[in-house]
Structures are given as C-alpha cells and as structure tokens.
Amino acid sequence: MEAYPRPRFEQPRVGLIERAGFLHLDVITLFAGIGVIGFSIYTLGVATAEDVAGDPYYYVVRQAVYAVVGIALMLAVARVDYSRFRELRVGIYTAMIVSICLVFLFAEATRGSRRWIELPFFTFQPSELGKVLLILTLSAFVIDRARRGTEARRTGRILLLGLVPALLVFLQPDLGTGLVYAVITIAVLFVAGTSWTHFAVLGTLALGVIAVVLWVAPALGAPVLQDYQQERLTAFLNPSDDPADSSYQINQALIAVGSGGKTGRGDDATQTQEGFLPERHTDFIFAVVGERFGFVGAAFLLSLYALLIWRALRTMTLSKNLYGSMIAGGIAAMLIFHVFINVGMTLGIAPITGIPLPLMSAGGSSVIVTFIALGLLQSIYVQSQLASRQGSIPVLR
C-alpha cells in the first residue's frame, strides 16, 4: 500500500508569496501606501500637464519612477530584520551627519537654501533620508544607554544626539525639516518611557526657545530666523493682515480648498491651475486635491493617512521588542507631524514651513524615504509575526 516512502521532515506547504517572505506583510499598510502614491500620480497627472512646456507627463513619470524605486526599497527593507540596524547605529549616525554636512560643501543653493546634492540621475536631499536614519539610530542609542547612568543623563544625551542633526538642517536653512527632527527626537524619548517630569522641563524649555526665537531675539536686534521664516511662521495667525506676501499664499490656498466645495471643481479648477498658488505640485499639493476633488477627495486622502498612522501605532504594540516599538512610534509621530503641518498650512491653521505631504508631494527623496519608513514598519510587523510563531511574546498583545 505504501508505494511511496514518507518524507523525512514535516514540511509545511509554502506558496510562492510566502517563500518570497511577503506573506507576513501588513496588507493595510501596503495598500494604503500604494493608494497614496497612486493618488499622487493621478493628481499630478491632471494638475501639472501644462507645467513643463512640451512634457505634460514630466512630474507623473518622475513620481512614478520614484514610486517604483520606493516600493522596491520598501519590500527590500521589509525583508531585513530591523534589529540589525541597532548594531550599525554609530556608523549610520555618522553617515547621516556627514551626508547632511555635505550639502554645505556641494549643494546648489535653491531659493537661498542648500538642501540638495546633485547626483547624475537624481537630486538627493540627505536631510530627508536623515529622518528615517535618525529614528533608527536614536532608538538604538536609547536601548544602548538603557542601563547606564542616571535617567536625566540619558535624556540629555538623546536630546543632544537628536538636536545636532536638527540644528545642522536648520542651518541649511530648512526650518521645517529641522522641526521634524525635533519631533522625532521627542517621540523616541516619549516611547522610550522618559519620565513626565523630564517632558515638563523640556516643554518649558521649548516654550522659552520659541519665545526667544520669535520675539525676544528680533526685539534685541539679533534675529535667529531669517525674515521670511519669521513671516511665514506667524502669518497664519493673522492671514488678512498682509495680502501681498506670506499670507498671500495662505489666502490663495484657503480659496483653493474652499472653492472645491463638497465634490471639487475638477478641470474647472483655477486657483491651482492658473498659478495663483505657488508650489502646487509640492508643498501645496493638498490645495490641488481640495480644489479639484473637494471635501470628498481630501477626506479620502486623509483616510489613507489615517490608515497608515493607525497601522504604525498598531505595529508599535505588536513589535517583538522595544526597539521596534520605538521605530514605529517615531515613524507614526513623523507621519502625524508631516500631515498636520502640511495640510494645516494649506488650511490656514499651521505655519508655513515647507515640509512635504508624504507620498503626495512630487519629489524623489521624500517619496523614497517615506517608502523606506513604511518598509521598516513592515519589517517590524514581519519580525513580530515570525517571533510569535517561534513563541516569543510581542511587546503588547
């Protein structure tokens, strides 16, 4: 009867996808990310056809290429055990600082700011990649220092490690990205369980710094911010004061989003189509969405972000170790901050700081880095799935 010998080992049935290591991917994160980039490509397609003479698909093609590269990198990162990065923390941190410093040497100044390094095929913005690298390394340093010294010293040290690159970016000058670094630092400290008293002290200090930067220093004649930065930061507080400059953009953005109404103006859109609003394919792309697709379109896009952030928070709790939780927490905070500042700026409730809307704004560095961040989330998720099979306990069930 037994014509065939039994196999020596019980081998579970493994399909193609699982063999490629993708079975454990978080499907919601995957599709929300792809949804946003798809929405971005569609929006750019309808809105920027006349931006570059003779090349109606200029931004579409570029964004699509970045999307493909980004998704590939995301899948690659998902397959790596993120815990490896903890071991490479010093090297990664050094590389990050060096790459940010490189822009001071090589970068072309665009509109008075040095942020980009020209590569043969790509304009690279090290400070964008730095966001993810900072999350990885700060979380690693937190764990590294976990049982050494007093808690105050630990907090101070992490703050220092976070604020050095934040300051470098700020000096480019790129105020928005500098703030993102600060937020990431705070988020990592927060997830790491830094005591409330420390946060209270930090909060007081931050308020003091803001007061000094915005009011005291300019009053004493030693402004920290450039005039235009100060203007942009405070213009949203009184938008009708000054129709010519910073608040011009706010007003035009408000008109764009407001005129979209419930379902949008489609191809009748004028605010974002006739050039009333600058930077419509990058910083102000949400205004394009609002005007063209209305409340419905904007709500759809925001829902996709909500999904991504929810999954990031969920991944935090599923992580097999604290390192993964901190990474996921940093990414969640980064996403929340980006969405709030960018969309809030378009809606006139947040200062103009010029940070991109993740996966929506046209731009290679931002798209690719966001996908890398999503790849890290996937990696944490996959590792937690594998660990639970092996019987280890995730951080939180």
Interface with other proteins (CB under 8 A): 142-143, 146-147, 151, 187, 190-193, 195, 227, 231, 242-245, 252, 254-262, 265, 270-271, 274-277, 290-291, 294-295, 298-299, 302, 305-306, 309-310, 313, 316-317, 321-323, 325, 329, 332-333, 336, 339-340, 343-344, 347-349, 393-396
The C-alpha atoms of residue 318 and residue 152 are separated, in whole angstroms, by 29
In whole angstroms, how close is the CB of 149 to other proteins at the nearest point? 12
Contact criterion met (CB below 8 Å) for 139 and 188: yes
The C-alpha atoms of residue 163 and residue 141 are separated, in whole angstroms, by 14
Q: Helix, strand, or coil here: 142? A: helix
**Which of these, 171, 169, 345, lies nearest to 251 by C-alpha position?**
345
In whole angstroms, how close is the CB of 254 to other proteins at the nearest point? 6
Contact criterion met (CB below 8 Å) for 141 and 125: no
Contact criterion met (CB below 8 Å) for 256 and 288: yes
Nearer to other proteins, 252 or 378 (CB): 252
**Which of these, 295, 326, 330, lies nearest to 309 by C-alpha position?**
330
Nearer to other proteins, 21 or 203 (CB): 203
Q: What is the DSSP string of 206-226?
A: HHHHHHIIIIIHHHHT--SS-
Nearer to other proteins, 58 or 295 (CB): 295
Nearer to other proteins, 115 or 320 (CB): 320
In whole angstroms, how close is the CB of 5 to other proteins at the nearest point? 42
Nearer to other proteins, 61 or 143 (CB): 143
The C-alpha atoms of residue 171 and residue 188 are separated, in whole angstroms, by 23
In whole angstroms, how close is the CB of 340 to other proteins at the nearest point? 5
In whole angstroms, how close is the CB of 28 to other proteins at the nearest point? 15
In whole angstroms, how close is the CB of 327 to other proteins at the nearest point? 13
The C-alpha atoms of residue 100 and residue 169 are separated, in whole angstroms, by 7
In whole angstroms, how close is the CB of 100 to other proteins at the nearest point? 27
Nearer to other proteins, 81 or 231 (CB): 231
Nearer to other proteins, 168 or 347 (CB): 347
Provide the residue count of the chain. 397
Q: Would you call the peptide bond into 356 cis, given omega within 30 degrees of 0 as the criterion?
A: no
